[in-house]
Amino acid sequence: KAGVTQTPRYLIKTRGQQVTLSCSPISGHRSVSWYQQTPGQGLQFLFEYFSETQRNKGNFPGRFSGRQFSNSRSEMNVSTLELGDSALYLCASSLAPGTVTATNEKLFFGSGTQLSVL
């Protein structure tokens, strides 16, 4: 079974541009969540989608948005890029969160998209 796939692996953008990152979850997984990792702030939760609905949202500005499609694939978008948005963006999938079982809530991460904003 293929793991979580994120594309692209590396991305270089300039300030003011926008960017779209893609994530394909493990087959059968219905939940996709996104995290930002920086040296200063560590790993921070961005948002989570389940059955095309946003279930949770972290403390990030509205420039960060996401969506989930009917096949569970997800995209996140960052508009009006700032230098501080440079980070590793990680996507994770799980079967069905909130059902409080180990199998359903265990998170599996992709390799991430390294975004550099110049």
Classify residue 53 by burial, with Cβ atoms within 10 Å: 0-12, 13-18, 19+: exposed
CB closer to another protein, 15 vs 57: 57
- C-alpha distances (whole Å) from 2 to each of 24, 111, 115 are 10, 13, 24
Residue type, 55: R
CB of 112 to another protein, least distance (A): 6
CB of 62 to another protein, least distance (A): 18
CB of 67 to another protein, least distance (A): 16
Nearest to 31 by CA among 98, 88, 113: 98
Binding positions for another protein, rule: CB under 8 A: 31, 33, 35, 42-45, 48, 50, 55-56, 58, 88, 90, 92, 94, 97-98, 100, 102, 105-109, 111-112, 114
